[in-house]
Amino acid sequence: MNIFVQKFASVVKGVLTGFDRIVFKGSILPLMHDKGVTSFCRGRSILNKDYKSWMLEQTKMLVDDAAQYAEENGAGRITPIASSHTRKEELARQRQEEARSRAHRKPHCSSWRHPPAPVPPRCRDQTI
């Protein structure tokens, strides 16, 4: 995160840190107009017909890198939130409860069980 902030220090107005999410807000002004997008694509040799597949590939790389970073740094899986109407705080609490529940479960291991008591010899041949 510090590398990101240092790289974009001229446009970063502040930094919030937390353990459960990262939110990017804002716009890249040159890409807000058709001439800016055209210039951006020309500079990268992206043809109009290839733009959609190029953008989807960039998006996938970004999402995959973020997921890998989260996993490697103990944050677990990233949950995409499809709707702005989803209550994010409730979702975060639910995930915390699930994590606590998993942490408190004891693993099932057959070696922890006691073997059945041996049957006394005189009872083996009798039917009850």
The domain limits of the chain are 47-78
Buried b (16+ CB within 10 A) or exposed e, 68-101: eeeeeeeeeeeeeeeeeeeeeeeeeeeeeeeeee
Average pLDDT across each block of 10 residues of the chain; the chain has 128 residues. List them in order.
82 72 70 87 92 92 87 77 81 82 63 52 49
Q: So what's the pLDDT on residue 20? A: 60
Q: What is the rounded CA–CA span in Å between residue 58 and residue 44?
A: 13
What's this model's pTM, rounded to 2 decimal places?
Answer: 0.46
pLDDT of residue 128: 44
The predicted structure's pLDDT at residue 123:
47
| pLDDT at residue 106, rounded to an integer | 55
